[in-house]
Chains A and B, each alone.
Chain A
């Protein structure tokens, strides 16, 4: 085949030939669903505040409840359907983070609780944690230095 087309030519040809993702549709869906998830978070947060909790406790509790909901809907086999519809709209909020941890835990349960669930749980979220924590440490150091 290489005698007819070079690899570069073929890769270029395939790029032109391949159907593209429907960006406008996907972005609209992501915007609406992502927005709705945030509205739910805000509702929970407002509800907690009316119960007289301090801002710090409200933030922590809201996060915990949203993570729980993400995990619950993953377990109920609903979150993947939502993700297929909404894309980044359901990946970016914290419920998506819960989904990325619970889904491998479910998937690898057949390999046992230690080498399966335990070892594979962070197979998707691991990089987010590693680089998220690393960056926050670096930013923290810069912040500390800038204070002087």
Chain B
């Protein structure tokens, strides 16, 4: 086995990979949610001065990217790679947003798991000595996602209680071989899990088995116990998916409930904000990570966190053809200490 591998799906990051900076910008609805104080910037309207939602999403990603570099007191010339992706067809929010960046670019599609996926690839690149500094960033936009995946915004209709609300927001981090942490310790790459859910309005239930699978595998591969973490946080399972994931794990004799939360259930006030089961989208895990999690780590209230970003790998075409939803979850463990 390759020396850095740690079990079937996990890689141990041995030379320190530090999260040098992070930033996030979110939409107005997220800016009214319970985490509003953690975000770097809250935009006032969904267009943000652009002509289309797609352009607005590109701008979100571009501005977040700039903020990440500024907060690390670096320049574009210090960055060797940018690893990014979004939800739109052909990842146009990302490629148009980073068009003028002039940095080698690796585009990813992991649906809403993109934040953890980009950090996984990024951590391995830095650890392997292929880069000093790189940026992992992702975005989603409620309006552009609705337009692509569902119905026009102005169409009057109701959503089922299991539906989730795509987060308008972008978040990202700079990974560096310098710096004082927090550090990425382990990367557990998920495999595609499809448990036969076909309802695109119930993504939480579709993705929960993938999240449970990755969490189980992470603990099996590393030999760690849930107590090793202050917080195990899934990407965007929402209220229902979170409950299911918790139950699936408990059936496997792994009880994480006391330290478990979900970005989708945290970013909105589920009672007050009419978002049904909670938030979703690439921007959900990205903004909760770079806003809430990393700020709390900086303060010292959180020391060890396992981020498990989840993605539903469907398309409108596959849904129309009656296919079930293949899902994925990638885990990245982050720690304030090196040992």
Chain A, residues 61-80, CB within 8 Å of chain B (1/0): the string is 00000000000001001011
B interface, how many residues as a size bin? 35 or more
Instruction: Say if the beta carbon of B160 comes within 8 Å of chain A.
Output: yes
Instruction: Say if the beta carbon of B27 comes within 8 Å of chain A.
Output: no
Interface contact tally, CB-CB below 8 A: 104
Q: State whether B195 touches A5 (Cβ < 8 A).
A: yes
Q: How far is the CB of B202 from chain A (nearest CB, A)?
A: 6
Q: Which residues of A contact B154 (CB under 8 A)?
A: 74, 77, 79-80, 99, 102-103, 106-107
Q: State whether B153 touches A84 (Cβ < 8 A).
A: no
Q: State whether B158 touches A14 (Cβ < 8 A).
A: no
Q: State whether A80 touches B156 (Cβ < 8 A).
A: yes
One of B62-70, B224-232, B243-251, B284-292 contacting the partner: B243-251
In the assembled complex, the Cα of A7 lies from the Cα of B160 at a distance in Å of: 22
In the assembled complex, the Cα of A107 lies from the Cα of B46 at a distance in Å of: 14
Instruction: Say if the beta carbon of A59 comes within 8 Å of chain B.
Output: no
One of A18-26, A50-58, A139-147 contacting the partner: A18-26
Residue of A nearest to B194 (CB): A7
A-side interface mostly: helix
In the assembled complex, the Cα of A86 lies from the Cα of B243 at a distance in Å of: 29
Q: Which residues of A contact B51 (CB under 8 A)?
A: 110
21 A-B contacts, Cβ less than 8 Å apart?
Answer: A1-B193, A1-B195, A1-B213, A5-B248, A7-B194, A10-B209, A14-B205, A18-B205, A19-B161, A74-B154, A80-B155, A80-B157, A84-B156, A91-B156, A99-B155, A99-B156, A103-B154, A103-B155, A107-B147, A107-B153, A110-B51
Binding site for A on B (CB under 8 A): 51-54, 147, 151-158, 160-162, 193-197, 202, 205, 209-210, 212-213, 240, 243-244, 248, 251-252, 274, 324
For the complex of A and B, the 9 pairs showing the least CB-CB separation, nearest first, are A83-B156, A7-B196, A103-B154, A107-B152, A110-B52, A103-B152, A19-B161, A103-B155, A1-B209
Binding site for B on A (CB under 8 A): 1-2, 4-5, 7-8, 10-11, 13-14, 17-21, 26, 74, 77, 79-84, 86-87, 90-91, 96, 99-100, 102-104, 106-108, 110, 123-124
